[in-house]
Structure formats: structure tokens, C-alpha cells
Structure 1
Amino acid sequence: MTYRADPARYGAMSYRRCGKSGLKLPAISLGLWQNFGGTRDYPSAFEILGYAFDNGITHFDLANNYGPPPGSSEELFGQVLARDFRPYRDEMIISTKAGYHMWDGPYGEFGSRKYLLASLDQSLKRMGLDYVDIFYSHRYDPETPLEETMGALAHAVRSGRALYVGISSYPEHETREAHRILKEMGVALTIHQPSYSVLNRWIEDDKTIDACGELGIGMIAFSPLAQGVLSGKYNRGKKEGTRAGDTHSTLRESHIEPRVLDAVEKLGPIAEKRGQSMVQLALSWVLRRDEMTSALVGVRTLDQLRDNLGVLKNLELTVEEIAAIDQATAGGLMELHPRPSGWLR
């Protein structure tokens, strides 16, 4: 049966301008990290992807190493594009990244021109695309000159392989430098993708979010639910059927230690008073900042996606609610900071 997108798909979604660019993103974007790899069959993948697009999610976020195994998320999404989404390509924002380990040898990770452009070509081939809408440097590389990394991003735009470029997990100083270098090359730094949640506020602590607002760089938060912790499903030490029991998960024990889970439990009454799920409260909090263009969610099931989309019914938080959230989470913040090799947890 041929897929036909819902004619009313743009009715309920809110679209936000990405910094000072001409690009708009949906308030909720869908990431294909962990849940759309080799273990996902086509029918269950398209059930989620099709529902997302039918409900106004136009932005699908990938990376070269998403899976598992690495590359399989792009391959699966490429199949969906070829079989069902192809007529709607120009209505979609498709992004990918390079920075983490992808192949053996000295050219298979980090920020060299060799690696970034080779990886982009491989990503395009896996997805069956001529270009991506956004290409990211997935992490800062302290051993490669930032001019080289940003030069590779600029070349991706000039060669027609990407329409926009971004960075992910760059601290404040490196964000400013990346913006300056690209501007001198005549290419805009359009977007920054950091981890950000009510329990993970590093971009506030080191002023990265303020820098992006000042420079006109859009922002899209990954892990806005702290890898599911903010759904409340880990409370009381529950692990069965969650990422904590998944050998491929990056969730650490420090994410579900008692002080963190105590903070999550304290958020419950605030969500209930607002008529929201815990997930919806957490997404409302991330999207409260003007600098934040979109929240990037990852889902395993259609019900989870529906829950995420429910936030659109009540995005506004009062000053009193924000203060109550800050008080509830004061003792449970995660100690997360960007590091070249990954994240300190």
C-alpha cells in the first residue's frame, strides 16, 4: 500500500526559527539514535516514522554511527525514503553527523577533513541522498585545528552535500571560535546540538546557551528526557525493559542513583498539577528558552511518540512553576560536561 501523508499534518505542530537563519524546525524532532538500527524491522520503523511525519515532525536526525550496528540507522532510514518518503523529501529536514569512531585506522573518527568528508559521502550513500539538510561536527577534536574541521563543514556546503552545518557538544569557547571561523569563510554556523534537560544543565553553567543566543545560532537539545530517566520509569530502581538493561545503552548507574531519582519523583506532582505526563513536563522545560529551537526525542514505541507530542498542548511554564522545578531538582542534577572522548558521567 502506497503511503500518503496526512493532509492535516502541519495543523498541530509548532515551528520555530533556528537562530537567525531562514530555517524552521518543529518543536519536537525525531532522533534515530539507538532505536532504529539493525534490530528494528521495516514495518515497526515506518509505523513510528510515518506517524511522526503525519503529525508535523519534519526533522529526522541521524549520525554515521547510529545503530546498532553503526550505519544501520541511516540504511534503514534510506529504505524508508526510497519506499515511502521520497515524494516528501523537500518537506523534510534530514541531518547527519560525523565525529565518533566509525571505522578502523587513523582516519575513522574525530574532526579531520579526511574523516568528515569521507563519512559524509558514506552517509549520503547509505541514505540514497544527494545532500543532507544539516551536517554536524559531532564532537570537538582538540588535536585537529578548528580551522580544518570548520573548513570541512564549509566545503560540505559549497560542494552541495549539505545545506546547513552545525556542531554538537561544543563548549562555550569552542562554539564561539567555530562561529567566528565559519563566518570568515562565508558560511553560517546554523545550529548547535547539546545534551540538555532539567537534570543536565551544563550549557547553562558554561554559558553555551547564552553564546548561541548572542550569536544567532539555533539550538536543538538531545537527551531532553535524560535517556528516559525523566519519564519516571527508573524510579525505585526498575531496570527491566528499560535502557538500563540494554547492553548498547550509554545510560550509566550515575544517571539513576537515588538522589537523581528523588528529584524525578518530586517533579511528579508538578506535572500532575499541569495535567501533563512527566515526559511532557520535561519537554516543556527544555523548550521554555527562546534559544532552544527544538527538542530531539528518541522513542521505542508509538505510545512514547504520542506522549512526547502531547507537550504541544501545554508548552508554557509560569515563573512559579519554573521555580518549583528548580527547587525539586536542586539535589539531583547530573554532573555532565563535554569531553573530547565523550561525556564525563
Structure 2
Amino acid sequence: MAMQVIGASCLCVFGRRRSIGTVRAFASEDFTTLKTTEEKVKLGGSDLKVTRLGIGAWSWGDTSYWNNFEWDDRKMKAAKDAFDTSVDNGITFFDTAEVYGSRALFGAINSEILLGRFIKERKVKNPEVEVDVATKFAALPWRLGRQSVLTALKDSLGRLGLSSVELYQLHWPGIWGNEGYIDGLGDAVEQGLVKAVGVSNYSEKRLREAYEKLKMRGIPLASNQVNYSLIYRSPEENGVKATCDELGITLIAYSPIAQGALTGKYTPENPPTGPRGRIYTPEFLTKLQPLLNRIKEIGETYGKTPTQVVLNWLIAQENVVPIPGAKNAEQAKEFSGALGWRLSDEEVTELRSMASEIRPVTGFPLEKL
């Protein structure tokens, strides 16, 4: 295993020489300490600190997008194993939403209920375990005013079995009533129901408006959760990433492995099924292969999988917290391997350059339906 060399001008990682300033590799005995200390980051200007990588719980209970219209005890156990494995490996930030697994959207059981159940069961075994929960308010057309935010939040807390959550987010901009929604976020902070507040799928303009409105109450806007990955870099192109950096708002990246397209699992001959198959077509996957091959080559120099490389690419952007979805223990364990090391600046730039030659997947972010 590669070892960090203190005081040396360079180190060799799997036969390649790299500068200490652009890569960090750690012996196994250093890894746990690194993940539990350095890998905690503040969300924006809030006091909330979370792990540098979180876990998205969209698939937990869902039957409308991820689970082929089927949710059973086997998948329930797999989700529980994903939760436990994440915590065991130092990832304690979990993102859910009131609409994930909602029966109104053909789900079998609400994701918030599952996450709350998993937390409760874990605390029975270890009362000292600390889990940071983020959930979201659905800006549905019939929800009006600040009170609707508080009412929805209290319903979410009931499903989670918690008295408060660490982060509460507006899932998407409303058709109307957005100022009232922002007021509701501020009220939630002042009433001690949340530690920090954020938004999701907000443009640069809406982001600035939300930031300023909360600032007048002395409340920081902690985060903006958007679709962001190596092959979907709209936040870099539409000003959202730059605005987050300027205002000190953390960008939480959903679909950070492009719903599996960047893992190398899918090929033109074996595309994903279901709704993802309409996005990541054989034609697109053919264009993606050179990039996937290079990701694999880079991963091999670090002893990392393609999934770990593309997650690390996002972490290397700084001010970005990716939240890949874990459906089982194996995926959760793999995600944890994205922590504790860094791609070099040259590799980050090279991958962005290669990805820029691929027309990104566009259209409505299905994750938010």
C-alpha cells in the first residue's frame, strides 16, 4: 500500500511519481483517523459539520424509479445494511425527502420512515452514534406560505422519529410563494427544529435571492443541492457553482456518479433498464467509453475503482459534498473508498477536459420528480 512520506519532495504511488502537494495517500492505520477528522466539513456559513461525502436515500422504499415497481424484505435488509456499512466506515450524513418512496408516487414505504427506523435500531446498539439527517420540503403548488414549510417539517420529523434534523432544504423552487418558503426555513431555524437550511435545484438568481432574504435574519444559507457529476457540469456552466463559492454556500451534488453511468457497470451492449435506459442510451454510452477507460486507468494507479475516482473528482473541487445513493452494503463500502486520498490537479483537469468533449445528459432532473 502507498504510504505518505513526510518531509520528502515526492512520493511514488503504484510506480508513478507525484508531488506531495497534489496527492495524498495514506497507510491503513492512518485512514480511520483521516475520515473521522479531516473528512468533516462545514456546510456553508452554518455551524453544521458533516462528512465530506454523504449517502442519498432516494432509492430506499422507492418503486417508481429505482426498484422496478417492487419493494420487498430483501431490499429492505439491503438498505439497512447500506446504512450500517456507511456508519461503520465513517459516513454519517444521510439525505432523504418527504417525497422519496411516497405512496402518492407509487412507493412502498417512505424513505424518511426507513431512515428513522435504521437510526433508532442503530442507537439501540450504540447510543453514542451520531447521524446527521438532511430532508426536504416539496414545494407543491397547493402549499402556500411559511406555515406550510413548518407543517411539512413537523410531519417529516414524525416519520423520522426525531425532534429536529441537521439540514432542511426546499426540494425545488415553487411555482409561487417562494418568499414564504424562505421565511419558513428561517422560522424552522429560530424554533430550533433544524440546525441549518438549504435549497435544491436553485438557479444563480434564485440562490442569491434566498441567500439575501435569510441574511436579513442573520441566518446563513448552508447549501444548494443540484445535479452535478463529471458528465453533468451545468453548475459550472450556469454560474451556480461560482455563486456557491462566492457566497460560501456548499454545493451538495446529487447523482454524482450519473446514476451509475460513470461506474463502468453499463456498456453499449448492457445499458441500464427502466427510466435510466432512456437517458443513458447505447449511443451515449458508446461516446462515454474513452472517458470511462481513462477513469479506470487512473483508478488503477491508486488502487481505486472508477466509482471512487469520479466521487473523488467532485470532492477535489472543494466546497462540494457528493451524496451517491447506496442500495446495499457493497455500494456503501465502495463509496467510503472515495475518502482519504486525492486526485492530482493534473488528473482533475484531464478528466474535465475529456468529459467536455461529451455532450452532457440534459433535460429535467428526474431525481426530483
CA distance in 2, matches of 1:29, 1:88: 21
Residue in structure 2 matched with residue 298 of structure 1 by the alignment: 325
Give per-residue Cα distances to partners, 1:141-183, cap 9 Å, x unaligned: 2422x32111010111112211110001101111011000011
Higher Cα Rg, which structure:
2
Q: Evaluate the alpha carbon distance shift between residue 191 and residue 25 of structure 1 in structure 2; reply closer, same or farther with a 3 A threshold.
A: same
TM-score by length of 2: 0.78
Give per-residue Cα distances to partners, 1:84-138, cap 9 Å, x unaligned: 236557722111101255xxx833xxx7434322221111111111111110001
Deviation of 1:45 after TM superposition, in Å, equals: 2.7
Residue in structure 1 matched with residue 97 of structure 2 by the alignment: 63
Residue in structure 2 matched with residue 152 of structure 1 by the alignment: 184
CA distance in 1, matches of 2:118, 2:81: 11
Residue in structure 1 matched with residue 161 of structure 2 by the alignment: 128
- 1:44 is aligned, of 54, 71, 78, to 78
Residue in structure 2 matched with residue 284 of structure 1 by the alignment: 312
What amino acid is aligned across from residue 203 of structure 1 in structure 2? P
- 2:134 is aligned, of 59, 72, 95, to 95
- Determine helix, strand or coil for the equivalent of 1:130: coil
Give per-residue Cα distances to partners, 1:70-95, cap 9 Å, x unaligned: 56111112222222236557722111
Residue in structure 2 matched with residue 106 of structure 1 by the alignment: 142
Q: Evaluate the alpha carbon distance shift between residue 322 and residue 44 of structure 1 in structure 2; reply closer, same or farther with a 3 A threshold.
A: closer
Alpha-carbon contact 1:60-1:94 (below 8 Å) kept = yes
Residue in structure 2 matched with residue 172 of structure 1 by the alignment: 204
What amino acid is aligned across from residue 123 of structure 2 in structure 1? F
CA distance in 2, matches of 1:220, 1:89: 26
CA distance in 2, matches of 1:84, 1:141: 36
CA distance in 1, matches of 2:332, 2:163: 29
- 2:352 is aligned, of 326, 338, 344, to 326
CA distance in 2, matches of 1:9, 1:26: 14
CA distance in 2, matches of 1:215, 1:54: 34
Identity of aligned residues (%): 27
Q: Evaluate the alpha carbon distance shift between residue 313 and residue 209 of structure 1 in structure 2; reply closer, same or farther with a 3 A threshold.
A: same
Q: Which runs of 5+ in 1 are unaligned?
A: 1-7
Deviation of 1:46 after TM superposition, in Å, equals: 2.4
Q: Evaluate the alpha carbon distance shift between residue 82 and residue 91 of structure 1 in structure 2; reply closer, same or farther with a 3 A threshold.
A: closer
Q: Which runs of 5+ in 2 are unaligned?
A: 1-29, 64-70
Alpha-carbon contact 1:191-1:218 (below 8 Å) kept = yes
Q: Evaluate the alpha carbon distance shift between residue 192 and residue 89 of structure 1 in structure 2; reply closer, same or farther with a 3 A threshold.
A: farther
Residue in structure 1 matched with residue 280 of structure 2 by the alignment: 255
Alpha-carbon contact 1:138-1:167 (below 8 Å) kept = yes
TM-score by length of 1: 0.83
Residue in structure 2 matched with residue 336 of structure 1 by the alignment: 362
Q: How do 1:303-318 residues align onto structure 2 when only pairs under 5 Å count? A: 303-318=330-345
Q: Which moved more, 1:264-273 or 1:170-179?
A: 264-273
Q: Evaluate the alpha carbon distance shift between residue 89 and residue 190 of structure 1 in structure 2; reply closer, same or farther with a 3 A threshold.
A: farther
Q: Evaluate the alpha carbon distance shift between residue 213 and residue 88 of structure 1 in structure 2; reply closer, same or farther with a 3 A threshold.
A: farther
Deviation of 1:217 after TM superposition, in Å, equals: 1.0
Residue in structure 1 matched with residue 22 of structure 2 by the alignment: none
Residues paired across the two proteins, number: 320
- Determine helix, strand or coil for the equivalent of 1:190: strand
Q: Evaluate the alpha carbon distance shift between residue 128 and residue 270 of structure 1 in structure 2; reply closer, same or farther with a 3 A threshold.
A: closer
Deviation of 1:283 after TM superposition, in Å, equals: 0.6
- Determine helix, strand or coil for the equivalent of 2:84: helix
CA distance in 2, matches of 1:198, 1:339: 16
Alpha-carbon contact 2:55-2:94 (below 8 Å) kept = yes
Residues 1:188 and 2:220 are matched in the alignment = yes
- Determine helix, strand or coil for the equivalent of 1:194: strand
Deviation of 1:308 after TM superposition, in Å, equals: 1.5
CA distance in 1, matches of 2:134, 2:335: 20
Residue in structure 1 matched with residue 256 of structure 2 by the alignment: 224
Alpha-carbon contact 1:139-1:168 (below 8 Å) kept = yes
Q: Evaluate the alpha carbon distance shift between residue 88 and residue 172 of structure 1 in structure 2; reply closer, same or farther with a 3 A threshold.
A: farther
Residue in structure 2 matched with residue 3 of structure 1 by the alignment: none
CA distance in 1, matches of 2:368, 2:61: 21
Residue in structure 1 matched with residue 21 of structure 2 by the alignment: none
What amino acid is aligned across from residue 304 of structure 1 in structure 2? Q
